[in-house]
Amino acid sequence: MPTTKALLLGRRRGRAVGLVVGFAGAVALALVAAFLAESTGVPTASALTDRLLPLLVFYAPGPLAAAGAYARCGGPACLAVGVVPAAVLGGFVLLGTVVGVPGINGGNPAIGDVTVSFAAVGVTSAFVGYCAGVTAVLAADLLGVGSGSRDGERGDE
């Protein structure tokens, strides 16, 4: 039962918060770099962000959620990883609109659709990754090579 509780609710809150906040920081940094590269017209930076931003937004939530499940961060933290790209994009657009940054149009109704699409893709990817991580934990525990302690699981580390 301790393994199930650790997988569902999480046992390592510090790692869970670090996973979500660290990923949010990486996405925000990549989004700001992409905006600055597009604003300045630097072709090499623009080419880099054209490859890095989709990698972080679409492909990273699944493996991060799997790693979070394996580290027993819990389901809520693993699924929150999927919402991070949409939340960062929404915050970036909201902040740019409020401050009045040229090139950021928060009044565009399509930006809401893009944000919802990012959230749907991210949460789906994170759910699949979380399921894969849980499967890996249970298989590893069954084989006796799991990341949990054999003589009792410890609390927050």
Angle at 126 between CA 114 and CA 37, to 5 degrees: 45
49 vs 104: which has the higher pLDDT? 49
Q: Where in the chain are the domains?
A: 2-143
Q: Which range, of 9-18, 29-38, 105-114, 144-153, averages the lowest pLDDT?
A: 144-153
**For residue 68, is it left (φ>0), alpha (ψ between -120 and 50) or beta?**
alpha
Per-residue model confidence (pLDDT) at position 7: 67
Of residues 96 and 6, more confidently modeled = 96
Query: pTM of the prediction?
Result: 0.78
Q: What is the pLDDT of residue 107?
A: 61
- Tens of pLDDT, residue by residue over 27-84, are 998 888 888 887 787 777 777 777 888 888 889 999 999 999 888 888 888 899 999 9
Residue 152 above 50 pLDDT? no
Question: What average pLDDT is seen over the chain?
Answer: 80
